[in-house]
């Protein structure tokens, strides 16, 4: 990152007020009558109603539109385990995105805990306060057990964004990239660098979308995950293949797709050269991708290149998913975010890239046109159509798959956050 951008980022966070979010009031609190209603004695009435019927918390408090973004700071972007407090800017950032793009009120919670069980206990004890829980930047393999247990024990949707948000957006981008490159998902071969939260979940959802498990080579820090290894956890083992390939150099030869969910600068231009004709490189590590677009584009002119960043074309980033997925789930009061809802979201996101791009997106990105093709495989995060299309797809899939407890709201499809 340039020195200018680094300083601008620090100033953005510090000035004029520290941080990126604050709380606003939704009711008047000026007169003594206002205070009698908001606080004592009036507040006792909703208290008694909720004590009789917990569902009334949705009627009398902010619960139904409130999502907690919770982290232990163990896998902050691609920066590693820098601890809970250091993760706060990212978690505040997720809350900012929830509010800006989907009108979801969100608060960040950073948990300092000595074990996965302590994290689970903490989250479980506060879960009822919220309409949903977005787990963020928790490293593998602990994240899998944490999410599984919390889903089992909480009655609200619990969703690990780095797993499922990333998977949904990756599938959306990949379906379009494959179409543009003239490849079939059932035949495409893929190298996945990384075997953590994001890599494992993306690979699983790509398999649900049609990719063949035997066409996937996954690598961790020790190299290719193959059936001869005896150091694999149960999640990595699902991707162990019978092969004599051992290194990224071996695996990348002739691959149609490289999916990077690992760390910075781990794929070389020479390795991109060795990929099949019309390759697809999703270098999704943040903030620094596995390869910078200028290096990859310099060695291949038949490439589709994408990163997780906002400053290059084709941003494959979970920001395109989690705000709208929670919007849809909250609005039909879904008890979970299931596979049907995830695939519906992926297809809705993918579909928008093929439609005419709204002028406000062109203006925001300073371009005259954005047309479906190698430089535009997926919509931009500021695309106002994401709100309506993705929340509707998710809410409808929740209804169809039996996890919704409310009907589709009358104001669907949403046109803007002002509708909420």
Ligand X SMILES: NC(=O)C1=CN([C@@H]2O[C@H](COP(=O)(O)OP(=O)(O)OC[C@H]3O[C@@H](n4cnc5c(N)ncnc54)[C@H](OP(=O)(O)O)[C@@H]3O)[C@@H](O)[C@H]2O)C=CC1
Q: Which residues are catalytic?
A: 39, 94
x/- track of binding to ligand X for residues 302-321 (CB under 6 A): ------x-------xxx---
Burial 54-66 (b: 16+ CB within 10 A, else e): eebbbeeeebbbb
Of residues 147-176, those binding ligand X (CB under 6 A): 162, 166
Choose from Mg ion, ligand PYR, ligand X, none: what does 316 bind? Cβ within 5-8 Å by kind: ligand X
Among 73, 131, 132, 194, binds ligand X (CB under 6 A): 194
Choose from Mg ion, ligand X, ligand PYR, none: what does 263 bind? Cβ within 5-8 Å by kind: ligand X
Give all strands (DSSP E) within 39-127, no chain letters: 66-71, 105-110
Among 174, 216, 255, 261, binds ligand X (CB under 6 A): 261
Tokens read off for 342: 């995830």
Of residues 235-254, those binding ligand X (CB under 6 A): none
CA 135 remoteness from chain centre: 10
220 is in an annotated binding site: no
DSSP code string of 176-230: HHHHHHT--TTT--EEEE--SHHHHHHHHHHHHTT--GGGEEEEETTEE-BTT-S
Q: What angle do CA 279, 282, 285 make, to 5 degrees?
A: 150
| Choices 9-17, 259-267, 327-335, 352-360 (CB under 6 A): range interacting with ligand X | 259-267
Residue 75 or residue 150: which is nearer to ligand X going by CB? 75
Collapsing DSSP states into helix, strand and coil, what is residue 76?
strand
Tokens read off for 159: 């969703």
- Angstrom distances, CA of residue 296 to CA of 114, 170, 253, 271: 41, 19, 15, 9
| Choices 10-18, 64-72, 187-195, 360-368 (CB under 6 A): range interacting with ligand X | 187-195
Choose from ligand PYR, ligand X, Mg ion, none: what does 261 bind? Cβ within 5-8 Å by kind: ligand X
Q: Does 140 bind ligand X (CB under 6 A)?
A: yes
Tokens read off for 91: 């978690």
Residue 144 or residue 217: which is nearer to Mg ion going by CB? 144
Tokens read off for 122: 């903490």
- Parallel, antiparallel or unpaired: strands 216-220 and 190-193: parallel
Say which residue the tokens 């009358």 belong to. Answer: 410
CB of 319 to ligand PYR, least distance (A): 7
The phi and psi torsions of 104 (rounded to 5 degrees) equal: -90, 125
x/- track of binding to Mg ion for residues 98-127 (CB under 5 A): ------------------------------
* Number of shown-chain residues binding ligand X (CB under 6 A): 28
290 is in an annotated binding site: no
| Choices 32-40, 47-55, 108-116, 195-203 (CB under 6 A): range interacting with ligand X | 195-203
Q: Which residues are at the interface with ligand PYR (CB under 6 A)?
A: 77, 137, 161-162, 286, 308, 317-318
Q: Does 137 bind Mg ion (CB under 5 A)?
A: yes
Say which residue the tokens 């150099």 belong to. Answer: 249
Of residues 319-378, those binding ligand X (CB under 6 A): none
Among 262, 271, 306, 396, binds ligand X (CB under 6 A): 262
Choose from ligand X, ligand PYR, Mg ion, none: what does 196 bind? Cβ within 5-8 Å by kind: ligand X
Q: Does 135 bind ligand X (CB under 6 A)?
A: no
419 is in an annotated binding site: no
Residues 6+ apart with CB under 8 A from 148: none
Q: Does 77 bind ligand X (CB under 6 A)?
A: yes
Tokens read off for 160: 């690990």
Residue 317 or residue 357: which is nearer to ligand PYR going by CB? 317
| Closest by CA position to 51, among listed 60, 41, 64, 40 | 60
Return the residue nearest ligand PYR (CB atom): 286
137 is in an annotated binding site: yes
Q: Does 286 bind ligand X (CB under 6 A)?
A: yes
Say which residue the tokens 């949707």 belong to. Answer: 157
Tokens read off for 365: 């990105």
Q: Does 203 bind ligand X (CB under 6 A)?
A: no
DSSP code string of 278-320: S-EEEE--SSS-SS-HHHHHHH-SS-EEEESSTTSSSB--GGG
| Closest by CA position to 223, among listed 182, 256, 191 | 191
Q: Does 71 bind ligand X (CB under 6 A)?
A: no
Other Cβ atoms less than 10 A from the Cβ of 399: the count is 18
CB of 137 to Mg ion, least distance (A): 4
| Choices 24-32, 193-201, 357-365, 372-380 (CB under 6 A): range interacting with ligand X | 193-201
Tokens read off for 164: 């499922």
In eight-state DSSP terms, residue 140 is T
Cα–Cα distance, 122 to 104 (Å, whole number)? 23
Residue 105 or residue 162: which is nearer to ligand PYR going by CB? 162
**Which ranges of 367-417 would DSSP assign to H, the alpha helix?**
385-400
Residues that bind Mg ion (CB under 5 A): 137, 162
């Amino acid at each position: 990152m340039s020195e200018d951008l680094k300083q601008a980022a620090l100033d953005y966070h510090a000035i004029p007020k520290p941080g990126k979010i604050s709380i606003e009031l939704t009711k008047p609190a000026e007169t003594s009558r206002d205070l009698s209603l908001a606080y004592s004695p009036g507040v006792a009435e909703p208290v008694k109603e909720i004590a009789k019927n917990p569902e009334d918390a949705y009627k009398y408090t902010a619960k139904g539109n409130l999502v907690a973004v919770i982290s232990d700071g163990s896998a902050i972007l691609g920066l590693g385990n820098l601890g809970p407090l250091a993760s706060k800017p990212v978690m505040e950032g997720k809350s900012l995105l929830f509010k800006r793009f989907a009108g979801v009120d969100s608060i960040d919670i950073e948990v300092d805990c000595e074990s996965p069980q302590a994290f689970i206990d903490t989250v479980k004890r506060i879960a009822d306060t919220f309409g949903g829980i977005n787990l963020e930047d928790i490293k593998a393999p602990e994240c899998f057990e944490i999410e599984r247990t919390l889903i089992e024990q909480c009655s609200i949707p619990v969703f690990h964004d780095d797993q499922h948000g990333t998977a949904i957006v990756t599938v959306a981008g990949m379906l379009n990239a494959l179409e543009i490159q003239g490849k079939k998902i059932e035949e495409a071969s893929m190298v996945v660098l990384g075997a953590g939260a994001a890599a494992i979940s993306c690979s699983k959802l790509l398999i649900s979308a049609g990719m063949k498990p035997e066409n996937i080579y996954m690598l961790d820090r020790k190299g290719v995950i193959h059936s001869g290894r005896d150091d694999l956890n149960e999640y990595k083992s699902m991707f162990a293949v019978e092969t004599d390939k051992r290194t990224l150099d071996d695996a990348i030869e002739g691959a149609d797709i490289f999916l990077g969910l690992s760390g910075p600068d781990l794929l070389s231009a020479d390795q991109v050269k060795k990929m099949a004709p019309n390759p697809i490189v999703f270098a999704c590590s943040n903030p620094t991708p596995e390869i910078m677009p200028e290096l990859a584009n310099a060695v291949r002119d038949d490439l589709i290149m994408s990163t997780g960043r906002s400053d290059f074309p084709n941003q494959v980033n979970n920001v395109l998913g989690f705000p709208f997925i929670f919007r849809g789930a909250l609005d039909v009061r879904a008890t979970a975010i299931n596979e049907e809802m995830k695939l519906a979201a992926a297809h809705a996101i993918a579909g928008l890239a093929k439609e005419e791009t709204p002028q406000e997106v062109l203006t925001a990105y300073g371009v005259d046109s954005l047309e479906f093709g190698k430089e535009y495989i997926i919509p931009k995060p500021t695309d106002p159509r994401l709100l309506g299309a993705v929340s509707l797809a998710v809410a409808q899939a929740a209804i169809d798959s039996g996890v919704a407890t409310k009907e589709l709201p009358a104001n669907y499809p949403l046109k803007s956050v002002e509708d909420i």
